[in-house]
Structure 1
Amino acid sequence: MENLKKTIIKIIAKELDVPQGSIKDDTSIQEDLGADSLDFINIVMAIENNFNIEIDEDMLMEFNTVTNIVDALATVLEPERI
């Protein structure tokens, strides 16, 4: 899961143009990093493209922090991709 977390942090950092070091497990994407709805959509699309998956709307409700994203993706990704 550590690789998955690193990948998610890289994606968020790239999409929001913030240093990776500023993103912690419990960092709120919207509150702490100031992501707006368009930023959020770009992050989700980047995650979908990176993992070649489609994220359903129910899962999106859990995408608040890095930990929430990793936990949600762990339920849909094959074990070797985590």
Structure 2
Amino acid sequence: MALPQNRKLALATATALALLTAGLAWQASAADGSGHPASTGAGAKSDTVSSERVEHGPGAAGDYWTPERMRAAEPAPMPVVPGG
């Protein structure tokens, strides 16, 4: 049984509106009440972005990582996912 064209359009529109509403509700649940996403750190402002350009010369790392330090190096601990 095929649906009439206007019925298909109505169903597609209702589905799109339901998905949009669910997405907006999900986004609002993550906000801190002011409409901005909840901050993760104390005093952090969610609407502020800053960056700083840092340039390091290749000599500093090469001077630090001597052959003795390379032989004695151990891998860093990897993060563990709880319940994983």
TM-score category of the 2 structures, normalised to the smaller one: under 0.3
TM-score of the aligned structures, taking structure 2 as reference length: 0.18
Higher helix share: 1
